[in-house]
């Protein structure tokens, strides 16, 4: 087990439930090919609607985007780019997934989307969504 997996396990056991949440969709692990980067697209990738993650956390907060996509009967997409592979893997993000993230190190990266846990994600915020 790589050290990044140990860190995730430690965060899961001692840091709270949000680190342990199960991904609803994730970039598949490919033998002899490492994930170079992941992107989240608003709608079909042909429209080139790339959403920017929070650069500090490498997370995409998608509550509003998912609501808009559902109303338009469209889906967000997780696009997985692998080193040395021209064609990315494109995955439809389920409407329930409101948080996507890249995790790990440059040599051992993974990416996935899950349902955000409002109770733990907002516990340090006041009633207006600001950190207290």
Domain ranges of the chain: 21-117
As beta bridge partners, residue 90 has 79
62 close to 99: Cβ distance less than 8 angstroms? yes
Question: Which of the residue ranges 35-44, 52-61, 77-86, 116-125 would you say has the lowest mean pLDDT?
Answer: 116-125
What is the model's pLDDT at position 39?
A: 95
**Residue 102: pLDDT over 50:** yes
What is the model's pLDDT at position 118?
A: 56
């Amino acid at each position: 087990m790589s050290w990044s997996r140990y860190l995730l396990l430690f965060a899961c056991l001692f840091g709270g439930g949000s680190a342990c949440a199960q991904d609803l969709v994730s970039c598949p692990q490919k033998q002899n090919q490492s994930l170079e980067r992941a992107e989240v697209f608003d709608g079909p990738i042909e429209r080139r609607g790339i959403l920017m993650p929070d650069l500090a956390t490498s997370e995409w907060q998608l509550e509003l985007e998912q609501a808009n996509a559902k109303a338009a009967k469209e889906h967000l997409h997780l696009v997985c780019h692998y080193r040395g592979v021209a064609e990315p893997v494109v995955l439809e993000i389920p409407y329930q997934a409101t948080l996507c993230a890249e995790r790990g190190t440059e040599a051992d990266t993974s990416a996935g989307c899950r349902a955000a846990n409002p109770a733990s994600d907002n516990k340090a915020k006041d009633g207006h969504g600001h950190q207290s």
